[in-house]
Structure 1
Amino acid sequence: MSNLATVTKNGGLTTANKNRLSNFPNLSTWLEDFPLGDFPSLFSTNFNTGISLPKVNIKEVADAFVVEMAVPGLKKSDFKIDLDNHVLSISAELKEENEEKETGYTRREFGYSSFKRTFTLPETVDDNKIKANYKEGILSVNLPKKEEAKQKPARTIDIS
């Protein structure tokens, strides 16, 4: 039995066993051959508008889930937050129109950008108590858990 070390396209080492039962390439080989470098914006932008999707942190605490979205430069009035059938949608639209009038010419520029992020909420969220807050470029959405889903504190069980 001989194990060979080969260098992959990205410089990592893989081992290959010559006595394999099948000649199928492994998943990492297929991913190395896929030209992700040709599509850098496909995975990081909303290609309908050309605007980057905001980064999101989701954390779970004892009594809630918290969604934090980095969206600096916006106002509270720019956001729309909807809840429909346990799907939370957070969106924003920005419309900009500039017009400069000088002697002999007028220049008008229009700009439009938007994003929409959606999250399927677990059944444990109490959707009647959801609250949102926007401060210093961070939109925070607090998703409280139903009473029966809240984490109970640790306790000692007496032995009888």
Structure 2
Amino acid sequence: MDPFSKKLLKELEQMQQHTGRILRTMSLPRMMSTEGGGWQPAVDIYEAEDSIYVHAELAGVVAESLKVTVDGQCVNISGLRQLPDHQTIACIHQLEIELGAFQRTLTLPAAVEVDGVESSYVNGMLMVTLPKRVRKGKVTIRITPGE
């Protein structure tokens, strides 16, 4: 195989490897700009019988800047990612890491008990555990006569 064909084949293989990453990051909410113009972290939502689990990829975000707000069937995650100040930078060769403030609001697949929510932030992953709201048995609804 000639050198040009080898190089072309190698570049096609690299493109194929990167295609999976590109498709994973192309969710509609992440592509749409937010009011503050911030970036959107990748988020996974899992549902179990009694809980909902939200995992957010937040590498480089300082834990003190994170804020998680839960309201019924929505969870809002916000924070700030900044890189350390590099006084000696003369030239940037590649710039892919999104910086600055972010906010991500997610609609959960079920209502949750706000009082039982727990979260942890380990190795750049925010994990939020949201217990599902338990229905309280049978309720009888009184019907009032109309006019």
Scaled by the length of structure 1, the TM-score of the pair is 0.49
CA distance in 2, matches of 1:129, 1:65: 11
Equivalent residue, structure 2, for 1:118: 105
Equivalent residue, structure 2, for 1:146: 133
Change (3 A) 1:120 1:97: same
Secondary structure of the residue that 1:118 maps to in structure 2? Answer: strand
Please point out which of 54, 79, 101 is paired with 1:67. Answer: 54
Change (3 A) 1:45 1:54: farther
CA distance in 1, matches of 2:71, 2:126: 19
State the Cα deviation string for residues 93-135 of structure 1 (Å, max 9, x = none).
245684859xxxxxxxxxx611111123455311111111111
The answer as to whether partners of 2:60 and 2:81 remain within 8 angstroms in 1 is: no
State the Cα deviation string for residues 35-56 of structure 1 (Å, max 9, x = none).
xxxxx8x85374614x3x2111
Q: Which amino acid aligns with 1:55?
A: A
CA distance in 1, matches of 2:124, 2:47: 21
Scaled by the length of structure 2, the TM-score of the pair is 0.53
Size of the alignment, in residue pairs?
97
The answer as to whether partners of 2:62 and 2:81 remain within 8 angstroms in 1 is: no
* Pairwise CA distance, 1:137: 1.3
Structure (1/2) with the larger helix percentage: 2
* Pairwise CA distance, 1:85: 5.4
The unaligned stretches of length 5 or more in structure 1 are 1-39, 102-111, 150-160
Change (3 A) 1:148 1:73: same
